[in-house]
């Protein structure tokens, strides 16, 4: 009996040493988000933009990690965000919490249930989770699988912008391009599109083309801004997106994750085709876009 008691005491002592001095986090919170990992990552950065300091971040399609230093109740706290996919449109978010100056004290209070710091952070993260849920309820993504980008003759305008300004840039370029098509009596042969030529994922900068498919003719309104181009057919992954076009890149993220989970090598050059006129249809969940992600051709 005495040996059993001693063994239990040793185990408890070892567990206490591990928890108080070795364990990575004071506390860890886990919740789900109805979006792909990169989408969830960007929402964390947007919603928690008031964080005092960005300590470190890793952003690629297989490893997404965000570390922040924030102030809660006049105390410096490290938040370590990790994003792991459950599937292409659901992400498990884990937040590791560490008090910078009072970690041991905070861990003791966690054990006794008296940590006001952890309660404050939990309440804040519950609010954040609700904001994420409200955001993800504003769009719907259906992964359609493998298909082919349709061939098109197009007139387009190129620009380089931050990704979060894509929709504004579309409207700006449309106000220049569309009147030129009418003046030149160019017949459209489809819906407006955005083609991403390059995406710097870390700086979040796009080189994008906005334009219209057309019926080709000898005389086209080409100038220093408007270009003619032929888009060739190419194998691709496809998703159908419903929602405000400001958020249509959420479908990119879902397709990138689908490709990663299924071992499909793709190009970071999404093509979006938009079927609704936002100026004429007020029901955003009825706005439809088809998103294509080119499959890389093996050489």
Average per-residue pLDDT for the chain: 85
Report the share of the chain in percent with pLDDT over 90: 57
Q: Are strands 271-274 and 288-294 parallel, antiparallel or unpaired?
A: antiparallel
**Is residue 77 over pLDDT 60?**
yes
Q: Which residues pair with 213 in a beta bridge?
A: 154
pLDDT of residue 8: 47
Per mean pLDDT, which range of 5-9, 54-58, 78-82, 115-119 is the poorest?
A: 5-9
pLDDT given for residue 198 in this prediction: 94
pLDDT in tens, 157-183: 999 999 999 999 999 999 999 999 999
The pairs formed by 73-79 with CB atoms below 8 angstroms and a separation of 24 or more are 73/116, 73/117, 73/120, 75/99, 75/100, 75/101, 75/102, 75/117, 76/52, 76/100, 76/101, 77/117, 77/121, 79/51, 79/121
Distances, alpha carbon 40 to alpha carbons 9, 35, 46, 144, 182, in Å? 43, 6, 10, 21, 41
At 195 the pLDDT is 97
Q: Which pLDDT score, from 0 to 100, does residue 117 have?
A: 84
279: confidence class by pLDDT, cuts 50, 70, 90: confident
CB-side neighbour CA atoms (13 Å) of 124: 18
pLDDT, residue 72, reads 81
Per this entry, what is the length of the chain?
A: 299
Q: What is the pLDDT of residues 198-230, one digit of tens each?
A: 999 888 999 999 999 999 998 999 998 999 999
Share of the chain above pLDDT 70, in %: 84
Instruction: Name the pTM for this structure.
Output: 0.86
Residue 84 has pLDDT above 50, yes or no: yes
Residue 25 binned pLDDT confidence (cut-offs 50, 70, 90): confident
């Amino acid at each position: 009996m005495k040996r059993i008691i001693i063994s239990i005491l040793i185990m408890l002592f070892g567990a206490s040493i591990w928890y108080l001095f070795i364990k990575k986090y004071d506390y860890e919170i886990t919740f789900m988000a109805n979006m792909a990992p990169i989408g969830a990552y960007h929402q964390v950065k947007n919603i928690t933009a008031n964080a005092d300091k960005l300590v470190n971040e890793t952003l690629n399609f297989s490893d997404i990690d965000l570390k922040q230093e924030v102030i809660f109740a006049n105390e410096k706290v490290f938040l370590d965000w990790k994003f792991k996919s459950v599937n292409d449109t659901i992400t498990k978010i884990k937040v590791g919490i560490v008090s910078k100056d009072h970690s041991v004290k905070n861990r003791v209070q966690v054990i006794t249930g008296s940590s006001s710091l952890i309660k404050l952070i939990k309440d804040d993260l519950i609010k954040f989770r609700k904001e994420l849920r409200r955001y993800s309820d504003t769009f719907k993504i259906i992964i359609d699988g493998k298909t082919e980008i349709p061939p098109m003759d197009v007139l387009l305008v190129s620009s380089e912008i931050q990704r979060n300004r894509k929709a504004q840039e579309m409207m700006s370029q449309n106000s220049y391009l569309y009147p030129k098509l009418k003046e030149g009596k160019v017949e459209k042969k489809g819906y407006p599109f955005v083609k991403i030529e390059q995406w710097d994922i870390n700086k979040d900068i796009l080189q994008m083309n906005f334009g219209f498919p057309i019926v080709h003719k000898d005389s086209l309104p080409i100038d220093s801004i408007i270009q003619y181009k032929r888009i060739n057919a190419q194998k691709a992954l496809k998703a159908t997106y419903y929602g405000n076009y400001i958020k249509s890149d959420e479908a990119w993220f879902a397709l990138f994750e689908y490709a990663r989970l299924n071992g499909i090598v793709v190009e970071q050059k999404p093509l979006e085709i938009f079927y609704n006129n936002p100026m004429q249809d007020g029901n955003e969940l009825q706005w439809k876009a088809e998103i294509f992600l080119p499959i890389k051709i093996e050489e």
